[in-house]
Protein backbone atom coordinates (compact mmCIF):
# COMPACT_ATOMS: atom_id res chain seq x y z
CA UNK A 1 0.00 0.00 0.00
CA UNK A 2 1.16 3.51 -0.75
CA UNK A 3 2.23 5.54 2.22
CA UNK A 4 5.03 6.31 4.62
CA UNK A 5 7.14 3.46 5.97
CA UNK A 6 9.22 3.84 9.12
CA UNK A 7 11.77 1.40 10.46
CA UNK A 8 12.42 0.17 13.05
CA UNK A 9 9.17 0.21 15.04
CA UNK A 10 10.99 -0.14 18.37
CA UNK A 11 14.56 0.54 19.43
CA UNK A 12 16.48 0.63 22.71
CA UNK A 13 19.78 2.51 22.73
CA UNK A 14 22.42 3.11 25.35
CA UNK A 15 23.41 6.68 26.10
CA UNK A 16 26.03 7.80 23.62
CA UNK A 17 25.13 5.34 20.88
CA UNK A 18 24.18 6.56 17.43
CA UNK A 19 21.53 5.26 15.11
CA UNK A 20 19.46 6.13 12.06
CA UNK A 21 15.69 6.05 11.88
CA UNK A 22 14.57 5.24 8.37
CA UNK A 23 11.65 6.82 6.54
CA UNK A 24 10.49 6.14 3.00
CA UNK A 25 7.48 7.32 1.03
CA UNK A 26 6.20 6.19 -2.34
CA UNK A 27 3.78 9.03 -3.08
CA UNK A 28 6.34 11.26 -4.81
CA UNK A 29 5.76 14.02 -2.27
CA UNK A 30 8.31 16.79 -2.25
CA UNK A 31 7.89 17.67 1.43
CA UNK A 32 8.94 15.34 4.25
CA UNK A 33 9.34 15.94 7.95
CA UNK A 34 10.19 14.34 11.29
CA UNK A 35 8.25 14.88 14.50
CA UNK A 36 8.63 13.61 18.01
CA UNK A 37 5.79 13.05 20.43
CA UNK A 38 6.30 13.14 24.18
CA UNK A 39 3.71 12.47 26.91
CA UNK A 40 1.37 15.41 27.42
CA UNK A 41 2.71 17.21 24.39
CA UNK A 42 1.73 17.48 20.80
CA UNK A 43 3.94 16.46 17.94
CA UNK A 44 6.95 18.76 17.63
CA UNK A 45 8.83 19.30 14.41
CA UNK A 46 12.49 18.19 14.42
CA UNK A 47 13.63 18.69 10.82
CA UNK A 48 11.96 19.00 7.47
CA UNK A 49 12.77 18.93 3.78
CA UNK A 50 11.01 20.69 0.92
CA UNK A 51 12.74 18.58 -1.71
CA UNK A 52 15.77 16.43 -2.47
CA UNK A 53 18.96 18.13 -1.33
CA UNK A 54 17.12 20.68 0.84
CA UNK A 55 16.69 20.36 4.59
CA UNK A 56 15.98 22.77 7.41
CA UNK A 57 15.54 22.80 11.16
CA UNK A 58 12.24 22.64 12.96
CA UNK A 59 11.32 23.44 16.53
CA UNK A 60 13.54 20.85 18.31
CA UNK A 61 16.53 20.01 16.03
CA UNK A 62 19.34 19.64 18.58
CA UNK A 63 20.93 16.20 18.65
CA UNK A 64 19.52 15.16 15.27
CA UNK A 65 20.78 15.26 11.70
CA UNK A 66 18.94 14.68 8.45
CA UNK A 67 19.73 14.42 4.76
CA UNK A 68 17.57 14.09 1.67
CA UNK A 69 19.44 12.53 -1.21
CA UNK A 70 16.29 11.21 -2.92
CA UNK A 71 12.63 12.22 -3.01
CA UNK A 72 11.65 8.92 -1.41
CA UNK A 73 13.92 8.75 1.64
CA UNK A 74 14.43 11.01 4.63
CA UNK A 75 16.50 9.35 7.38
CA UNK A 76 16.87 10.86 10.85
CA UNK A 77 20.20 10.37 12.59
CA UNK A 78 20.80 10.51 16.32
CA UNK A 79 24.44 11.40 16.73
CA UNK A 80 24.92 10.55 20.42
CA UNK A 81 21.73 9.34 22.05
CA UNK A 82 20.61 10.90 25.33
CA UNK A 83 17.78 9.87 27.68
CA UNK A 84 16.00 13.12 26.72
CA UNK A 85 15.59 11.66 23.22
CA UNK A 86 13.37 8.88 24.52
CA UNK A 87 10.22 9.52 22.53
CA UNK A 88 7.99 8.32 19.72
CA UNK A 89 9.16 9.55 16.35
CA UNK A 90 6.88 10.11 13.39
CA UNK A 91 7.86 10.74 9.81
CA UNK A 92 5.46 12.48 7.45
CA UNK A 93 5.25 13.36 3.80
CA UNK A 94 2.95 15.98 2.37
CA UNK A 95 1.91 18.02 -0.60
CA UNK A 96 -0.11 21.14 -1.11
CA UNK A 97 -2.54 21.80 -3.93
CA UNK A 98 -4.25 25.13 -4.01
CA UNK A 99 -5.81 25.69 -0.61
CA UNK A 100 -5.52 22.05 0.39
CA UNK A 101 -2.67 20.60 2.39
CA UNK A 102 -2.35 16.84 2.78
CA UNK A 103 -0.11 15.07 5.30
CA UNK A 104 0.48 11.33 5.63
CA UNK A 105 2.22 10.00 8.73
CA UNK A 106 4.14 6.80 9.28
CA UNK A 107 3.24 4.46 12.12
CA UNK A 108 6.06 5.67 14.33
CA UNK A 109 9.30 4.50 15.93
CA UNK A 110 9.32 4.12 19.70
CA UNK A 111 12.83 4.90 20.93
CA UNK A 112 14.08 4.36 24.46
CA UNK A 113 17.50 5.63 25.51
CA UNK A 114 18.84 4.10 28.72
**Residues within the interface to other proteins (CB under 8 A):** 4, 31, 33, 35, 40-45, 48, 50, 56, 58, 90, 92, 94, 96, 99-108
Which residue's CB is nearer to other proteins, number 58 or number 75?
58
With 0-12 / 13-18 / 19 or more C-beta atoms within 10 angstroms meaning exposed / middle / buried, residue 82 is middle
User: Smallest distance from the beta carbon of 19 to other proteins, in angstroms?
Assistant: 20
Shortest gap between Cβ of 42 and other proteins (angstroms)? Answer: 3
Amino acid sequence: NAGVTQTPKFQVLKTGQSMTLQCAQDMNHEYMSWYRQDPGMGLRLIHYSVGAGITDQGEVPNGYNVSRSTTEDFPLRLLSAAPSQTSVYFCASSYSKGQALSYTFGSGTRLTVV
